[in-house]
Chain A
Amino acid sequence: MFPVIRKSAFVLIFFLTGTLLMMLTVIDAMTKQSSTRDSLNQRAMLVKEFGLSDLALSTEARYTRHLTLADRHSAFQDHPTSFDHFPSGSIFLPPSQLTHD
């Protein structure tokens, strides 16, 4: 026979486990930050070597692939009144130099 656990004890154990796991995520993040420092530096060195300016998150349109190099008219590439037809164009804001004039 298993001992009967009071419901309040179960709640307490549940929340303590949850808190412990949340603390573990912080420790995990800190550990990964230090263990991946070399790989981050490696990425940074590649950026330096090839003079890269952007993340390759969206490769469908040139103005979302190289967001920082987009000109003011990138989205209207076919016609001055044509709509932007790439989905990622609705997610990315224009580069800061065009919005901070």
Chain B
Amino acid sequence: MIEFFRKQAYLIDFTMSSLLRRKGKNFGLLLVYTLIVFMLASVMLFSHSLRKEAGIILQQSPEIIVQRLVAGRHALIPAEYIQKMGRLRGVTSKKGRLWGYFYNPVVKANYTVMAPDHLDLSTTEVIIGAGIARTIGLGIGDYFTMRSNNDTFSFQVKDIIERNSELVTTDLVLISPKAYRVITGIPEGQFTDIVLSVRNPREVRKVAEKLVQKLPDIRPVLREEILRTYDSIFAWRQGIVFVLLIGALLAFVIFAWDKASGLSAEEKREIGILKAVGWESADILHMKFWEGIIISLSAFMLGYLAAYLHVFYSSAVLFESVLKGWATLYPQFKLVPFIDGLQIATLFFFTIFPYVVATIIPIWKASVTDPDAIMR
């Protein structure tokens, strides 16, 4: 056993010397390989953690949100719809909500304006999300303006929503329902949508069916659909990033295949010399096996560790511009790390196995050839 390890240690010594003789080429290969693993691992870690977090926090979203549709578009819902819904078994509360969007052309930012009725806000006060405060440079007590219907409305910032909730509140503006109606011109008796609380989660779908029967122009959005959307959207996004990465991956496959199949004259000569001095084909294969392992395992470890730091310690800064698009508001958030062992194992397998195979096969072909023929 000791003899076996000693032999492997000598083989690794030799492999490292051989790799270091072609420093530029091998470090270049390691760099490209590490970058690909880094990108794949970043996408995996980011999407899995975001999916997990969305699943936990959106578990508290409303059981049923009722929207009214007119000509296929979301429209205001009259307050009498609450009465029209009547008594529904299992429904514990029905409440109309006022909310909408506001575009600030000065900073080119979209806000989500909500008018909750349970907050103690006067008509001249607002509570804003941390993203807005950061973008405009506002603090508590400062004035926040909104222009609408040829009028400018000024509000005093009463509070800023805590920074650690930016993932859901970065663009929120909370104002009083009265102020909301004045700014938007939405008359009394109209709401943006209606939310329903249902005691038993198993009754939610039945309640939604009854609602659609009673009021055919409404569309209920269920909590389970919200959760499913976020569960599948990140899987899909992961998919689209994988599609984009396929180009990079194929380039790498060509690179590795070219390196492996077209052995350089120097490598062929090395194999010939090794065979001439008494190395067996198995030894050469062992040596090349170690070469494949050293490069691919190093790339996997470096790529994964860099991805972990990127996603969880630098807030996945590389994905920001992709998700942000043309928006100016983007939440600053630190994801809670959730690691999916199966994803990492899959990445490990696809990083190590193909490269080692692609390295060994052409070497095996060369190593079973007559050394004299190789050296010529």
Q: Tell which of B57, B236, B326 has the most Cβ of chain A within 10 Å.
A: B57
- A60 touching B326, Cβ below 8 Å: yes
Report Cα–Cα, A46/B110, bound state, in Å. Answer: 20
Given known A33-B336, A51-B61, A97-B225, contact A59–B330 (CB-CB < 8 A): yes
Contact of A45 among B60, B101, B228, B230 (CB under 8 A): B60
Please report the C-alpha to C-alpha distance between residue A49 and residue B162 in the assembled complex, in whole angstroms: 14
Complex Cα gap A18–B219 (Å): 52
What residues on B are CB-neighbors of A43 within 8 Å? 57, 164-165, 167-168
Residues of B within 8 A of A59 (CB): 109-110, 112, 170-171, 327, 329-330
Q: Does B169 contact A (CB under 8 A)?
A: yes
Residue in chain B with minimal CB distance to A29 = B337
Tell me how many residue pairs across A and B have CB atoms closer than 8 Å.
206
Bound-complex Cα distance A8 to B16 (A)? 8
Interface flag for B91 (CB, 8 Å): no
Q: A10 on the interface (CB 8 Å rule)?
A: yes
Q: Are B164 and A55 in contact (CB under 8 A)?
A: no
B58–A53 CB distance below 8 A: yes
Q: Is A7 a contact partner of B323 (Cβ separation < 8 A)?
A: no
B229, CB-defined interface residue at 8 Å: yes
**Measured between C-beta atoms, what is the minimum distance from B39 to chain A in Å?**
16
Complex alpha-carbon distance, A8 and B330, angstroms = 48
Known: A11-B294, A26-B339, A44-B57. A50 touches B69 (CB 8 A): no
- Residues in A21-57 with C-beta less than 8 Å from chain B: 21-22, 25-26, 28-29, 32-33, 36, 39-40, 42-57
Residues 83-136 of B contacting A (Cβ, < 8 Å)? 97, 101, 109-110, 112, 114, 116, 118, 129, 131
With known contacts A42-B165, A91-B237, A50–B114 Cβ distance under 8 A? yes
Residue of A11, A28, A65, A86 touching B112 (CB-CB under 8 A): A65
A15/B164 in contact, CB under 8 A: no
Task: Give the contacts of A67-98 with B (CB-CB under 8 A).
Answer: 67-69, 71-73, 86-88, 90-93, 95-97
Is A71's CB under 8 angstroms from B74's CB? yes
B residues in contact with A62, CB < 8 Å:
101, 110
Binds A, one of B142-150, B254-262, B264-272, B296-304: B296-304
- Neighbour of B69 across the interface among A11, A19, A42, A71, CB < 8 A: A71
A65 close to B171 (CB less than 8 A):
yes
A71-B74, A72-B72, A96-B225 known; A51-B62 Cβ under 8 A: yes
Report chain A residues within 8 Å CB of B79.
Answer: none
Determine the chain A residues whose CB is within 8 A of the CB of B16 once the complex forms. Answer: 7-8, 10-11
Instruction: A68 to B74: give the CA distance in the assembly, Å.
Output: 12
Q: Does B42 contact A (CB under 8 A)?
A: no
A25 with B323, Cβ < 8 A, contacts A44-B56, A97-B225 known: no
Residue B76 CB within 8 A of the other chain: no
Partner of B172, one of A10, A11, A44, A50: A50
Of the candidates A26, A28, A58, A86, the one having the most CB atoms from chain B within 10 angstroms of its own CB is A58
With contact pairs A22-B304, A22-B305, A40-B336 given, residues A8 and B10 touching in the complex (Cβ less than 8 Å): yes
Known: A19-B301, A95-B225, A99-B232. 9 other contacts (CB 8 A): A8-B10, A29-B312, A29-B338, A55-B50, A55-B167, A56-B131, A57-B323, A57-B331, A92-B233
Name 6 interchain pairs, CB-CB below 8 A, sorted by A.
A8-B10, A45-B60, A54-B58, A56-B166, A56-B331, A71-B73
